[in-house]
Chains A and B, each alone.
Chain A
């Protein structure tokens, strides 16, 4: 639901927009009459363009892909018809064809786009931008004024959105690592804003058809982004499946990789990791035990104490995991997470025995999620621990086995988000697929014969 503060904010934005647009309309009229042939046709076409752009806004869930080329319509209106018309073009957002928009969202979007359009128009006029057909002889000055208008538009837009996001965080919106994607977003918005001037310039020659022409590259870009999103989801589905295939070797650890991945991402978000790294740590969490495949099944399933050789075989699994995935070029930092996820803060872990901050951050994060999932899952030698008990164990290990800051972050994240518990497992159908000792379980360390 929309919080009360958000409603107040939205009402304020709507009222301010209405007042400013009315005032501006008193000053200049709906549009600059006489500057453009058939101004109503122009206004209607630009509104239509805005609607189309707004409605095809990509429905992608993935980060960095909020995509709003609609600013080009508003900015074209600034050049051809003036600020008030631009505000009206922006206000079209109220009747956006996107479904599942709530009233509050529609109101806010309409007011926001109208206000940004008005502000951009104001900036354009303030810098002596000529309203009407762009004329070749004064194009340089016009381009400068337009650039200012575009910047003002993008800034106004993002400031207003930033406000609503801040107020709305209470309803469970997570802090996404916005820093890196925000820049990309601003730049791509500015890039598309340039199209506004292109539309305005073509208007004299081909009127509304310029809109059609400009839409073609826009739709192609949207197609490419859609393909990207499709490939990306196919990609993570495949990755997940392959990890599950690896886990079929052991009945009890099914879904382990997936849950560790989720846990690592929860911690990453909590400590404000950038979006790119958050994604990478998700993959690292998923793949962290892939190397277990190289450990002979007999060793994984052995009851009682392990010989030194057998323990060495288990200690090799991060190395083998690294060997499998090291050729996946983009994983880079994730590789360190996979290789070092069994290091301990006190330096008594494996494979290298690194201590403290020598251990890569990814590995420290994964270690926490890994141990927590192991403890809260059923094993052949014990039932699953409760989350509280597991949290207590993590606290106990903080400073010796785990990074205390990350343990705190994980506990804080657990309070906000539900942990994806292991699906209730009955007895395994086939006793040959059971690991008897879990190398991840900090409460039941592997028993090794001391020679």
Chain B
């Protein structure tokens, strides 16, 4: 949830296309492009396809394009296309079952070689992305490339195994187990590549990013995996018709996810807006809450906080001044850094009390409540999130929305001189984050 608006936001669209790319993205896109070109060439060399092959290719291609059209926005500004993934993976894993079932196999459906799978996936993903581009939405190239690379890996491995699998005496259980492993592998490939890109994007550590990615993706991955197995085995009796039938339940599942992601986005949007009540009431400067939360999340991410904690940190940073609403008169320009420690603590505790009322954001309330504690010498020591908010708040109180480098440097120096109040690690990272905002001289 934190990603789409905060420090980690992909470069703004004003930049030229190639400027917006960082090295990780470039490598990924180059890999995907090479795979696609190689696949096209490979398919062309194999020669013309027969009618059944063409029908299969078109059916799965249509399915994938449809799935790409119905992309799903997940928390954290991520994008998934579960239905496209189901289509592509199933197409890659189509198999003529050995043993007694072979007699039933459908005459209108045949497995495809990896080159054909990759070509079909690449083309239909692009086709599915076209309407998005026409509507002015981002093309989502990174996500498409990630999916294509994952599908390609699975297709190649499966191709190596399929000769062995097709032998008549292989029990169906073995085939099933192997398919499960392959689907799992596909999911892992997708997750690892996504985590690499994301770590690069938002400046998180890879180890943290991969855990975040896994935690977030496993339910969807599970549904995709099971759906792939159902599709592969169902093709045996249902032929291509199954794609038309199975799209129903897949759609309903996707709607459930969409609603979940939607309410999370709304939640954050609302807290972000309501945090501005302190500004409208004249308690703090305009934009203070939003700036503090951006800074705090950027610092927290660099310090290796996982996404769940970052979300709590963002909420806490947005609402850190809510305790001021209980004050009779606004304090001067809302700068809590200028009032006495006792008053700072009182405001923090009032804020904590307010948030605890909701009874669903207790971790957030704790961060708000401890935000005025000094970094050292307080017993118990404040949680990391509170120290981050304290530093980010002090920085913004001193600097505001000014872009004056000297002022920034002076504020950071002042915090660095006061290691008992502000945690040294936090200030170091804060300096680093600030330096990226205004290059040079800090």
Among B220, B248, B282, the most chain A Cβ lie within 10 Å of the Cβ of B248
B357 and A241 form a contact (CB under 8 A): yes
A-B contact number at CB 8 A:
197
B237 and A248 form a contact (CB under 8 A): no
Q: How far is B230's CA from A210's CA once the two chains are assembled, in angstroms?
A: 8
Residue of B nearest to A197 (CB): B245
B226 and A192 form a contact (CB under 8 A): no
Q: How far is B223's CA from A324's CA once the two chains are assembled, in angstroms?
A: 40
Q: How far is B273's CA from A372's CA once the two chains are assembled, in angstroms?
A: 28
Q: How far is B97's CA from A204's CA once the two chains are assembled, in angstroms?
A: 12
**Cβ-based interface call for B14 (8 A):** no
Contact with A along B269-288 (1 / 0, CB 8 A): 11111101100111000000
Taking CB atoms and an 8 Å cut-off, the chain B residues in 135-172 that contact chain A are 172
Residue of B nearest to A231 (CB): B263
Q: Which of B204-212, B249-257, B417-425, B426-434 contacts A (4 or more CB under 8 A)?
A: B249-257
Q: Specify which chain A residues have a CB less than 8 angstroms from the CB of B215 in the assembled complex.
A: none
**Cβ-based interface call for A329 (8 A):** yes
Q: Specify which chain A residues have a CB less than 8 angstroms from the CB of B252 in the assembled complex.
A: 187-188, 191-192, 221
Contact among A191, A205, A232 for B97, CB-based, below 8 A: A205
Among B106, B229, B266, B274, the most chain A Cβ lie within 10 Å of the Cβ of B274
Q: Specify which chain B residues have a CB less than 8 angstroms from the CB of A228 in the assembled complex.
A: 256, 259-260, 263
Q: How far is B263's CA from A330's CA once the two chains are assembled, in angstroms?
A: 10
Given known pairs A240-B358, A297-B328, the reply for A231 and B101 (CB within 8 Å) is no
Range, interface on chain A: 35 or more
Contact with A along B118-132 (1 / 0, CB 8 A): 000000000000000
Residue of A nearest to B329 (CB): A297
Q: How many residues of B contact A (CB 8 A)?
A: 66
Contact among B236, B249, B274 for A325, CB-based, below 8 A: B274
B274 and A242 form a contact (CB under 8 A): yes
A136 and B104 form a contact (CB under 8 A): yes
Q: How far is B29's CA from A331's CA once the two chains are assembled, in angstroms?
A: 39
Mostly, the A contact residues are: helix
Residues of B within 8 A of A (CB): 97, 101, 104-107, 172, 176, 219-220, 222-223, 225-227, 229-230, 233-234, 236-239, 241-242, 244-246, 248-253, 255-257, 259-260, 263-264, 266-267, 269-274, 276-277, 280-282, 322, 325-326, 328-329, 354-355, 357-361
Residues of A within 8 A of B (CB): 133-136, 139-140, 143, 187-188, 190-195, 197-198, 201-202, 204-206, 210, 213-214, 216-218, 220-225, 227-228, 231-235, 237-242, 244-246, 248-249, 290-291, 293-294, 297, 320, 323-330, 432-433
What are 27 A-B pairs at a CB distance below 8 A?
A191-B252, A194-B249, A195-B248, A206-B233, A213-B229, A214-B226, A217-B227, A218-B249, A222-B256, A223-B219, A228-B260, A235-B270, A237-B360, A238-B270, A244-B357, A245-B325, A245-B326, A290-B274, A297-B329, A320-B280, A324-B276, A325-B273, A325-B274, A327-B273, A328-B266, A329-B269, A330-B269
Known: A231-B264, A246-B325. 6 other contacts (CB 8 A): A136-B236, A197-B238, A198-B249, A237-B359, A297-B328, A326-B273
